[in-house]
Amino acid sequence: MMESRDVPSAATSEVDARRLAARKIAFIFPGQGSQFVGMGKELAGKYSIARQTFEEADEALGYKLSQVCFEGPEDRLRLTEITQPAILTVSIAALRILEGRIPKPSLVAGHSLGEYSAHVASGTMSFADALRTVRNRGKYMQEAVPVGVGTMAAILGMELEKVVAVCQEAAQGEVCAPANINSPEQIVISGNTAAVERGAKLADERGAKRAKLLPVSAPFHCSLMKPAQDRLEADLDALKTQKPVYPVVCNVEAFLVVDERRALETLVAQVTGSVKWEQSMRLLIGQGVQTFVEIGPGKVLCGLMKQIDRSKTCLNVSDEASLNKALEHFAS
């Protein structure tokens, strides 16, 4: 007769299930706005794999991106066609340092531009191809709308349904739409300058905690970006891609992409579509993810996770101190 200690109890099975769930992690990658002068410099100075990543970027782009990241000047780093490959490079440099030191992710995601970092992490496209694509993406976005014609505004502390209603009323024949649904506390709207200004004013009047215009160079993630979308689609169609190793959450519809054709379609749609970040994170939480690792400059996404679900662990990796903290977390 089998002894009782050989039969796992329901309680033991439940503990094992919780342990498995606790090990389910997602890598998430930041988008534009996370950049700062000096990003990646410390990692490149200490880790040869990070240094090599910056050298690859310099070669792929034909200029010293590494120098702009490490030394600035800030106004050059803020140029969209430089910002986008710069953030991608810092993210992939940090990712390569982490690989083999922490568990592999179950799923990956990225905020807007960060979705390209997620696809590089998942092997959908090569690092060099992604760099050239996001450089062009930034250029096309900047050229799609003349400076001053469009803008964006952050609406804080207002429900999505109310923000949608505000945008519809503020449009008055122009474009005004939710662009980034970042968290229950933060939604960014985008469109023609006058329409977005009307939207911000209406949101203020209707109870938003705050509505503020953002210092951006173009109205991203709205229909005004259609010329950029058309140009980028041709670039993406020409890329050599592979089936993602890890499912990638696409921003535009907040679902899991598991094949390369769908990956490209969603990256095209993302140019004019809104970034459904809150819904994307809730999808990952629904998949059982307990630990999120934000890989790249800053910790914007960890800040948003606190607004989405404070019970989840979110670690950021952007420099030596945050890297060590993440490694300690997984070692324990």
Catalytic residues: 112, 221
* Radius of gyration (C-alpha) of the chain in whole angstroms: 21
Phi, psi of 78 (to 5 degrees): -80, -15
Distance from C-alpha of 293 to C-alpha of 325, rounded to nearest angstrom = 11
Strand blocks (E) in 30-118: 107-110
Q: Let me know: does 83 contact 34? Beta carbons within 8 Å.
A: no
Token pair recorded at residue 226: 């259609």
Q: Sort 48 into a burial class: Cβ within 10 Å, 0-12 / 13-18 / 19+.
A: exposed
Nearest to 124 by CA among 243, 250, 255, 270: 243
Q: Which residues contact 51 (CB under 8 A, 6 or more apart)?
A: 44, 45
| DSSP string over 238-249 | TS-----SS-EE
Beta strands in the chain (DSSP E): 25-29, 107-110, 150-156, 176-183, 186-192, 210-213, 248-250, 255-257, 291-295, 313-317
Residue 226 and residue 272 in contact, taking contact as beta carbons nearer than 8 Å: yes
- What does the DSSP assignment read for 205-240? HTT-SEEEE---SS--SSGGGHHHHHHHHHHHHTS-
